[in-house]
Structure 1
Amino acid sequence: MSNRLLTELQHQYSPVNEEEVTKLWNEVRPTFTDKIIVLDDDPTGVQTVHGVSVYTDWEEETIELGFKEENQMFFILTNSRAFTEKETKTAHEHIAERVERIAQKLGRSYMIISRGDSTLRGHYPLETEVMKNTIEEHSSMKLDGEILLPFFKEGGRLTIENVHYVQYDQKLVPAGETEFAKDRTFGFASSHLGEWIEEKTEGAFKAEDVTYISLQSIRSLAVEEITKQLIDVTDFNKVVVNAIEEEDVRIFAIALIKAMNKGKRFMFRSAATWTKVIGNISSKPLLKRSDLIEQSVENGGLIIVGSHVQKTTEQLQELQSLTSITAIEFDCHLVLEKEQFRKEIERVKKEAESSVAAGETTVIFTKRERLDLGEGMKEEELKLSVEISDAVTSIVRHFAITPKYIIAKGGITSSDVGTKGLQVKRATVAGQIAPGVPVWKTGSESTFPAIPYIIFPGNVGTASTLKEIVIELEQ
């Protein structure tokens, strides 16, 4: 399948009638009152929303707090992309059972969204399958189908003619031909989402049985036709939604709400755009330094770079071109030599504390080569990567100086820095500082209360985005 130019697409589909969509949305959206619970498999899923809570555990009382919030939607950070299959299964059983119990206690209907990676990595179909089975076991609810919606415009992830693409500049590359498809844990071959479903479910769900919501139907505002497609879905069959603009997702949401009002129930596996649209979250301008940092703060910022994807390495190189930045490489390969590793952690922490206290923004980055133990050593590599992550988060947790802000680069890195390093139990999403780059305001229980914590996904932005964010924060 050849690369496609984005500009070709702009002319291929008729534009959305935004006035008509707004009118339909304003009629239909108020009829949807379910509590929306978003399970985030890493902390980057809040990259389209603001003013919502993120909880970092799933104890029963935490979930009840979320249900009782005035907001219709709340997030639970599971960080399950860093889990083994067994850990993932256990976590999702617990969450689904507790959500169902609290919903019954409070007499509240709900929608669960499994927010996964827009480049299709993660524990799929395990997470949604486990939740479906658990919910059905503990209630009279039957889930008719599962909606797959990995579209995420800010990250350049578009679904066209049922094929999911990743944008590189003006080129669209089928997801199965990108570096993400070669992921050591969550790799895949198919770019066509029906075929991807068949691949991931090992043939339990066939590509030809999937319901496809086409861009033609969406752009012609064939809401009743799409609603009928959804009403016909049974036996937890899969629905693939094509989208190249946020408005496409809104049109689909109108049809979905109409189907739900007729009694249909679905599970969702989506990227971040779906949560914004169904949650009816307004668009907000990008955050500036003045929104986040008081002028009087003199300490430097602290940046932690863990992700190894090519884009992150390019962004790190660009960042290091700023002469005002102090860069410290953390030799994580010393994890194989315990005493050496302990000394390395201490060295990095002391050097970083010293430069942050001197007002210098400091980046700590892990060695850019992956630790490769060879064939058949996946589990051992995963254990070592957890040790490395624990080392990085311990630097943040025991950091003696309060940085003016913290940036963590990479999904798993940002989750561990947020929960283990900053020890956040509940944060509020302030908004985004760049497209697809969310900012938490940490809670009072945090290691550093009320500082901006910038969660920068490994696979988002251009080569200069990290540098541009730091320039904005340093002004």
Structure 2
Amino acid sequence: MSNRPKIIVLDDDPTGSQTVHSCLLLLKWDVETLRLGLVDEAPIFFVLTNTRALTPENAAAVTREVCRNLKIALEEEGIEEFLVVSRSDSTLRGHYPVETDIIAEELGSFDAHFLVPAFFEGGRITRDSTHYLSIEGKEIPVSETEFARDSVFGYRHSYLPDYVEEKTQGRIQSSGVERFLLKDLRQGTQERLRGLANNTCCAVDGETQDDLDRFAEDILAIASEGKRFLFRSAASLLTSLAQLEAQPVAPEEMGQYERTSQPGAILVGSHVRKTTQQLEQLLKEPNIVPIEVDVVRLRDDLNQREVLQAEVLTLVEQAFLAGKTPTIYTSREELSFDDIQQRLDFGAVVSSLLMDIVKGLPSAVAFLISKGGITSNDVLSEGLNLRSARLLGQILPGCSMVITPDDHPQFPKLPVVLFPGNVGDDRALVTVYCRLSRQP
């Protein structure tokens, strides 16, 4: 691994590590913390910036700060060969091109940046430069799904060159995007990669993991010749770049990481339809205690925050005393706001409440399942106040599990599942719960 470039992933929520294992997730990005990732034995590490939860201006500021500190850390460690990945959503939501523009300004110059949104475990593929989402076995262009109607990150195009033109407001024309099609990947792309220059924008197909494995081999070969590449990708490309062997503990056996004989806890913040369907299935389980956080009360009166927190923690304690698993979830009603900033501000208020609930969990909790990307990031960085965590692997395809350090003051060696909102079938949350609580 020593002669391979270090893969540095700036992840806009904590779920981008959902296809790799045994590496570090960094929750802070001061120079010393970044050096931990650079010297770690794993070929890849993640910096969890959580920028998808921020305004474009704040996302740019965070990305710039990470890059400037990273530049110092790279110099101090004497590392010259590296690849930078701006990991984002496989349904094309996120701050593009804000983040890749900042990375190019601070860490450039790059010969090309590649859009690689395929995420096979989640049923997202790219064919003929058009990105599809598999829903009940049918391939739907992502522009026709609920994700394209996102009130913050909405878009009109599934054809990636048109998506680029739309998001860059015409700065990069659709006709100027280099297309790496399936036939190209399968025939080999090294000569084309050698010819790229001036941060050319490239859209990359992907129908199977083998497609990206072949592409990654070519990328690594040409990068070793001195070409510098930047990526805007979902998680599947990372599998191919990292070239890891199978994870140490099989998904079905990850209940062995359980730290006590007490119940675990489940926190659900995501509001996408799939999460709600999974939650409905989980609440049918006999040892689950549903605890709803009525966020409407919080919107109508911020003074309700402390009351809500006390009510929830009382119910959590009662569940634990009964030997049952509390499932804390925000009310499912979709709230409306006058503008995006109000929505983001209210989201921060709700997250702050949920993180104080995490801090108030019994210290003997056996495990924690966090449902939703932004929720999971906040759990790690705020609720558990981690500097870093070690990724154990996936307990379910696309669903990562990390473990807190041995010296954590409240929850040492706590297994934490980072469960994206839009991953898994209707019983996926039940499956994870049963694996961790060692139920058949």
TM-score when normalising by structure 1: 0.88
Answer whether contact 1:300 1:357 (CA < 8 A) is retained.
no
Answer whether contact 1:152 1:272 (CA < 8 A) is retained.
yes
CA RMSD of aligned residues (A): 1.6
* Alignment coverage as a number of residue pairs: 433
* 1:355 partnered with 2:319: yes
Answer whether contact 2:148 2:154 (CA < 8 A) is retained.
yes
* Number of the residue aligned with 2:85: 113
* Number of the residue aligned with 1:180: 147
Q: Distance in 2 between matches of 1:100 and 1:171?
A: 44
* Number of the residue aligned with 1:407: 369
Answer whether contact 1:425 1:445 (CA < 8 A) is retained.
no
Answer whether contact 1:353 1:401 (CA < 8 A) is retained.
no
The equivalent position to 2:75 in structure 1, one of 96, 104, 107, is: 104
Task: Write the deviation string for residues 401-442 of structure 1: whole angstroms up to 9, x where unpaired.
Answer: 431110011001111112111222111111111110100011
How much has 1:52 moved relative to structure 2? 0.4
Show the 5 A alignment for 1:24-423.
33-109=4-80, 110-136=82-108, 142-219=109-186, 222-223=187-188, 226-284=189-247, 285-293=250-258, 297-335=260-298, 336-374=300-338, 377-423=339-385
Unaligned runs of 5+ residues in structure 1 are 1-29, 137-141
Q: Distance in 2 between matches of 1:148 and 1:32?
A: 26
Q: Distance in 2 between matches of 1:205 and 1:383?
A: 32
Q: Distance in 2 between matches of 1:69 and 1:298?
A: 32
SS at match of 2:132: strand
How many percent of aligned residue pairs carry the same amino acid?
35
* 1:435 partnered with 2:400: no
* Number of the residue aligned with 2:418: 455
Answer whether contact 1:424 1:446 (CA < 8 A) is retained.
no
Q: 1:313 to 1:185 in 2, by over 3 A?
A: same
Q: Distance in 2 between matches of 1:197 and 1:459?
A: 23
Answer whether contact 1:430 1:439 (CA < 8 A) is retained.
yes
Answer whether contact 1:405 1:453 (CA < 8 A) is retained.
yes
How much has 1:235 moved relative to structure 2? 2.2
How much has 1:283 moved relative to structure 2? 3.2
Q: Distance in 1 between matches of 2:33 and 2:435?
A: 35
How much has 1:100 moved relative to structure 2? 1.7
The equivalent position to 1:470 in structure 2, one of 421, 433, 439, is: 433
Q: 1:184 to 1:84 in 2, by over 3 A?
A: same
Task: Write the deviation string for residues 221-248 of structure 1: whole angstroms up to 9, x where unpaired.
Answer: x22xx12222222221211111111110
Q: Distance in 2 between matches of 1:423 and 1:446?
A: 10
Q: Distance in 1 between matches of 2:417 and 2:353?
A: 20
Instruction: Spell out structure 1 runs of 4+ moving beyond 3 A.
Output: none
Q: Distance in 2 between matches of 1:72 and 1:257?
A: 12
TM-score when normalising by structure 2: 0.95
Answer whether contact 1:301 1:404 (CA < 8 A) is retained.
yes
Task: Write the deviation string for residues 48-76 of structure 1: whole angstroms up to 9, x where unpaired.
Answer: 11110111000011111221222222111
How much has 1:169 moved relative to structure 2? 2.1
How much has 1:342 moved relative to structure 2? 2.0
Answer whether contact 2:252 2:435 (CA < 8 A) is retained.
no
SS at match of 2:197: coil
Answer whether contact 2:149 2:155 (CA < 8 A) is retained.
yes
Q: Distance in 2 between matches of 1:252 and 1:153?
A: 15
SS at match of 1:120: coil
